[in-house]
């Protein structure tokens, strides 16, 4: 006799709730790390080298997004297909950023002060 799994409940069969609890991170320490990285990204505006400034800003943004994804969204315990989907989105996002950086950094502007 084969068991029929109702559509939409496949996750519950593969990962039953009794074995699915993984605990919660220390949210206050994650908050402090995120605030520290936020301050670093704000202070990066004072770096005179524009390329280094962008690397620091985007680097801290990447670290903050990984922390939010891993700690708040609990993706660490999700199936592999979800990780692949997130990876594709991050790849497209990085391709966009790397595609527009030359337009932001290497184009001369007429700035009237």
The per-residue pLDDT for range 17-68, each reduced to its tens digit, is 555 555 667 888 889 999 999 999 999 999 999 999 999 999 999 999 888 8
User: For residues 58 and 97, is the Cβ–Cβ distance under 8 A?
Assistant: yes
The answer to whether position 30 is within a domain reads yes
Average pLDDT of span 90-100: 90
pLDDT interval class at 15 (50, 70, 90): low
What pTM does this model have? 0.53
Domain that holds residue 77: 24-105
Please report whether residue 17 resides in a domain.
no
Considering the domain boundaries, does residue 93 fall inside one? yes
Classify residue 59: in a domain, yes or no: yes
What pLDDT is stored for residue 1 in this prediction?
47
Is 101 domain-assigned?
yes
The CA distance from 75 to 108, in Å, is 42
As for how many domains the chain has, the answer is 1
Mean pLDDT of all residues belonging to the chain: 79
Q: Is residue 28 part of a domain?
A: yes
**Is 57 inside a domain boundary?**
yes
Q: Is residue 16 part of a domain?
A: no
């Amino acid at each position: 006799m084969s068991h029929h799994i109702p559509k939409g409940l496949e996750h519950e069969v593969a990962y039953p709730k009794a074995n699915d609890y993984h605990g919660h991170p220390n949210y206050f320490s994650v908050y402090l790390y995120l605030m520290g990285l936020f301050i670093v990204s704000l202070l990066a505006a004072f770096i005179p080298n524009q390329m280094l400034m962008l690397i620091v800003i985007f680097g801290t943004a990447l670290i903050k997004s990984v922390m939010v994804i891993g700690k708040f969204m609990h993706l660490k315990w999700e199936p592999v297909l979800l990780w692949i989907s997130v990876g594709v989105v991050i790849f497209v996002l990085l391709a966009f950023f790397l595609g527009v950086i030359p337009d932001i950094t290497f184009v001369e502007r007429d700035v009237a002060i």
